[in-house]
């Protein structure tokens, strides 16, 4: 059974009771990420995410870690471009303790100066590790190239200079602006009772007050461009992207299926031709990113530098064929079956169900049931997916590459 409510302070609550399991997954979703920062605060959301685990008025960082380890649970967090999530998965008998601890972390974090100094160094090491991982770094390079004058182009980690400058007062001010109950969703899925969850949430989050500061978010403007980063690597790392669609766009399900056909599975066009038939790459896949007011569709591959141009030309040919000729009825049906099967299997996990509840409430402001999603997938026609293929695969693209070269061409697209 699904339930939703608002706490007395305005925080949204979504709960799915699943009596057939013994676990509970819970997540606190905050509608704030790197997109909500500016040039001076870029990296703040991610830094705060780290600091929430560094101790409260009643628990030290070590005690928080030992608490979840001691009950056989799991706790973690992540920051994205448009939201931050703190989540845990525990046995149902430990739900109250897990919720109380997460609430304590988010409402009573000490943000101690000595912990801030230590965690600053940890995140700088994280940035260095990231910079030594070109297959991750290439995606940030892509974002900054296709959104050069927009906050969606910011890195989630932020620049090292910002991290060195952040103070505790800066963090407190950012929290007061963004970590407000009207900008938060508590999502719970598992063997719980809604009334118990609501009562506990009212108790543990009652001290959270205020409203999010209002500011205008301009829609992103996609820029078709090219950026090559010359770096001594064994492989060439390449991303190409075209404009996509927002979360609530009616064409998003068609793009989901198109992604599956282009490069989302091991039987997709790109995987089969580039890896299986020609042996030109170990890793090649397509992806899409949807935001509240825009999105993108892209392709990633890693290949030998001497093969890079040939692989780019091949990707261009495959996309051009899709734009011109579309997909087949057999490809569309196979994609529908694969996507529906993957979706239904994933929802056997309480973590997946919690994540689905939280994101839909935070980003769309409503529940989207499994039946609703399956119906939307089934409704995608051959005509509608081919219209999307023509628009997306036929658009001017942005390309980014990291490797031992100075230039690559996308003129063949």
- For helices 308-325 and 382-393, the axis angle rounded to 10 degrees is 140
Per-residue confidence (pLDDT) for residue 409, from 0 to 100: 84
Domain with CATH 3.30.830.10 in the chain: 2-204, 226-403
> What are phi and psi for residue 164, nearest 5 degrees?
-70, -25
> What are phi and psi for residue 231, nearest 5 degrees?
-150, 140
Per-residue confidence (pLDDT) for residue 410, from 0 to 100: 77
Q: Which is the catalytic residue, given 49, 82, 119, 331?
A: 49
Q: Are residues 233 and 404 in contact, defined by beta-carbon separation less than 8 angstroms?
A: yes
The verdict on whether 49 is a catalytic residue reads yes
Query: Homologous superfamily of 2-204 in CATH?
Result: Metalloenzyme, LuxS/M16 peptidase-like (3.30.830.10)
In a 13 Å sphere around the CA of 70, the CA atoms on its Cβ side amount to 8
Under DSSP, is residue 104 helix (H, G, I), strand (E, B) or coil? Answer: helix
Name the residue among 301, 268, 292, 262 with its Cα closest to residue 392.
262
Per-residue confidence (pLDDT) for residue 191, from 0 to 100: 97
Question: What is the chain's pLDDT, residue by residue, as a tens digit (413 residues)?
Answer: 999 999 999 999 999 999 999 999 999 999 999 999 999 999 999 999 999 999 999 999 999 999 999 999 999 999 999 999 999 999 999 999 999 999 999 999 999 999 999 999 999 999 999 999 999 999 999 999 999 989 999 999 999 999 999 999 999 999 999 999 999 999 999 999 999 999 999 999 998 999 998 877 889 999 999 999 999 999 999 999 999 999 999 999 999 999 999 999 999 999 999 999 999 999 999 999 999 999 999 999 999 999 999 999 999 999 999 999 999 999 999 999 999 999 999 888 999 999 999 999 999 999 999 999 999 999 999 999 999 999 999 999 999 999 998 888 876 45
pTM attached to this predicted model: 0.95
Residue 236 token pair: 């060439």
* Residue at token pair 């070590």: 62
Under DSSP, is residue 44 helix (H, G, I), strand (E, B) or coil? Answer: helix
Question: What span, in angstroms and rounded, lies between the C-alpha atoms of 356 and 47?
Answer: 25
Name the residue among 179, 155, 149 with its Cα closest to residue 51.
179
Per-residue confidence (pLDDT) for residue 148, from 0 to 100: 96
Per-residue confidence (pLDDT) for residue 411, from 0 to 100: 63
- Classify residue 286 as exposed, middle or buried by CB count within 10 Å of its CB (0-12, 13-18, 19+): buried
- Classify residue 270 as exposed, middle or buried by CB count within 10 Å of its CB (0-12, 13-18, 19+): buried
Query: Homologous superfamily of 226-403 in CATH?
Result: Metalloenzyme, LuxS/M16 peptidase-like (3.30.830.10)
* Element housing 69 (H / E): helix 61-70
Alpha carbon of 76 to those of 50, 68, 166, 183, 247: distances in Å?
Answer: 10, 10, 23, 20, 25
């Amino acid at each position: 059974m699904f339930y939703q409510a608002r706490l007395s302070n305005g925080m949204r609550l979504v709960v799915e009771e699943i009596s057939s399991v013994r676990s509970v997954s819970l997540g606190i979703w905050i509608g704030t990420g790197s997109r909500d920062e500016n040039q001076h605060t870029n990296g703040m959301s991610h830094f705060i995410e780290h600091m929430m685990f560094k101790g409260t008025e009643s628990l030290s960082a070590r005690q928080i870690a030992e608490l979840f380890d001691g009950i056989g649970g799991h706790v973690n967090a992540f920051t994205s471009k448009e939201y931050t999530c703190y989540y845990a998965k525990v046995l149902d008998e430990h739900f109250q303790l897990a919720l109380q601890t997460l609430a304590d972390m988010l409402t009573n974090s000490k943000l101690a100066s000595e912990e801030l100094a230590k965690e600053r160094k940890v995140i700088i090491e994280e940035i260095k590790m990231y910079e030594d991982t070109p297959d991750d770094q290439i995606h940030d390079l892509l974002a900054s190239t296709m959104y050069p004058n927009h906050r969606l182009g910011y890195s989630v980690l932020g620049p090292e200079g910002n991290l060195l400058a952040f103070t505790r007062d800066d963090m407190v001010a950012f929290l007061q602006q963004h970590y407000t109950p009207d900008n938060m969703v508590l999502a719970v899925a598992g063997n719980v009772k809604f009334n118990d969850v609501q009562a506990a949430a009212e108790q543990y989050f009652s001290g959270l007050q205020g409203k999010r500061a209002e500011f205008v978010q301009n829609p992103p403007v996609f820029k078709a461009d090219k950026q090559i980063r010359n770096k001594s690597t064994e492989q060439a790392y390449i991303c190409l992207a075209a404009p996509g669609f927002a979360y609530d766009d009616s064409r998003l399900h068609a793009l989901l299926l198109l992604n599956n056909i282009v490069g989302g599975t091991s039987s997709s066009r790109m995987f089969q031709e580039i890896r299986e038939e020609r042996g030109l790459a170990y890793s090649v896949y397509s992806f899409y990113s949807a935001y509240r007011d825009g999105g993108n569709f892209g392709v990633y591959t890693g290949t030998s530098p001497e093969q890079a141009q040939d692989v780019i030309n091949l990707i261009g040919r495959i996309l051009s064929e899709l734009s011109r000729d579309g997909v087949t009825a057999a490809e569309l049906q196979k994609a529908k079956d694969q996507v529906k099967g993957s979706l239904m299997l994933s929802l056997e996990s309480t973590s997946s169900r919690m994540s689905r509840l939280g994101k839909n409430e935070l980003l769309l402001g409503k529940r989207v049931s499994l039946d609703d999603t399956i119906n939307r997938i089934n409704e995608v026609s051959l005509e509608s997916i081919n219209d999307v293929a023509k628009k997306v695969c036929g658009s001017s693209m942005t390309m980014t590459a990291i490797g031992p070269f100075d230039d690559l061409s996308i003129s063949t697209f």
